[in-house]
């Protein structure tokens, strides 16, 4: 073999090697860009997921308010302090069928109230931009007074209607 042929073959091998290195570099750049694109998609998906979760939490709170509204509607129209005391003292005195039904409805009302409190706590300040916070405090006071028989059914239902009228789920 002649030296020129050896040099030429070496040059070709070096060129093929350089081509493979260039293809490897292009593949590495494509892999890096696809990783970056994947990161951007993941960040976008996470942002969307957070918004969906916030919307679900707000929806759950509004749903719990609707359940509370229904439980208030199911309470006896003649609910007053006397009936509330009779239900509380049921273990000492026999109670009528009407008071027994009121006791069951009060139990359901308390369950709905607990669900509403849980949903409110889960909101974790998502509703600070609305005036719902002050309405919640007012509703809490009305609830306590209502269960003791000192507030009318209409008053607490009006407060719930005021809270329902606020649009806070998709803000």
pLDDT one digit per residue (tens) for the chain, 171 residues = 688 888 888 888 999 999 999 999 999 999 999 999 999 999 999 999 999 999 999 999 999 999 999 999 999 888 888 888 877 777 566 667 777 788 889 899 999 999 999 999 998 788 887 888 899 999 999 999 999 999 999 999 999 999 988 888 877
- Joined together, the tokens standing for residue 148 give 């003791």
Cα separation, 142 vs 153, in Å, equals: 10
If you search the block for the tokens 């073959």, which residue do you land on? 9
Task: Please state, in angstroms and rounded to a whole number, the distance separating the CA atoms of residues 68 and 111.
Answer: 9
Q: What is the pLDDT of residue 3?
A: 85
Alpha helices by DSSP H, the chain: 3-74, 81-88, 97-123, 132-147, 153-165
Compute CA distances 3 → 9, 10, 12, 55, 88, whole Å. Answer: 10, 10, 14, 77, 111
pLDDT of 136: 93
Separation CA 106–CA 110 (nearest Å): 6
Element spanning 126, H or E? none
Token reading at 126: 């998502």
Count Cα atoms within 13 angstroms, Cβ side, for 60. Answer: 18
| 164 touches 66 (CB < 8 A) | yes
Distance (Å, rounded) from C-alpha 54 to C-alpha 124?
Answer: 10
- Backbone φ and ψ of 169, nearest 5°: -75, -50
The span from the CA of 71 to the CA of 171, in Å, is 28
Token pair for residue 75?
């309470």
Per-residue model confidence (pLDDT) at position 59: 93
Predicted structure pTM score: 0.74
């Amino acid at each position: 073999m002649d030296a020129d042929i050896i040099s030429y073959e070496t040059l070709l091998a070096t060129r093929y090697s350089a081509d493979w290195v260039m293809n490897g570099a292009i593949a590495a750049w494509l892999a890096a860009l696809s990783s970056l694109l994947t990161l951007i998609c993941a960040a976008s998906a996470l942002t969307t997921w957070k918004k969906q979760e916030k919307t679900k939490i707000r929806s759950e709170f509004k749903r719990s308010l609707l359940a509370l509204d229904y439980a208030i509607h199911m309470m006896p129209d003649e609910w007053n302090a006397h009936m509330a005391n009779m239900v509380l003292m049921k273990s000492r005195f026999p109670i009528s069928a009407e008071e027994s039904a009121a006791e069951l409805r009060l139990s359901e009302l308390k369950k709905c109230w607990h669900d509403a409190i849980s949903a409110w706590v889960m909101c974790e300040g998502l509703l600070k931009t609305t005036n719902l916070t002050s309405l919640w405090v007012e509703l809490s006071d009305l609830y306590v007074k209502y269960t003791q028989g000192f507030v009318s059914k209409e008053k607490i239902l009006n407060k719930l209607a005021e809270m329902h009228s606020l649009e806070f789920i998709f803000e």
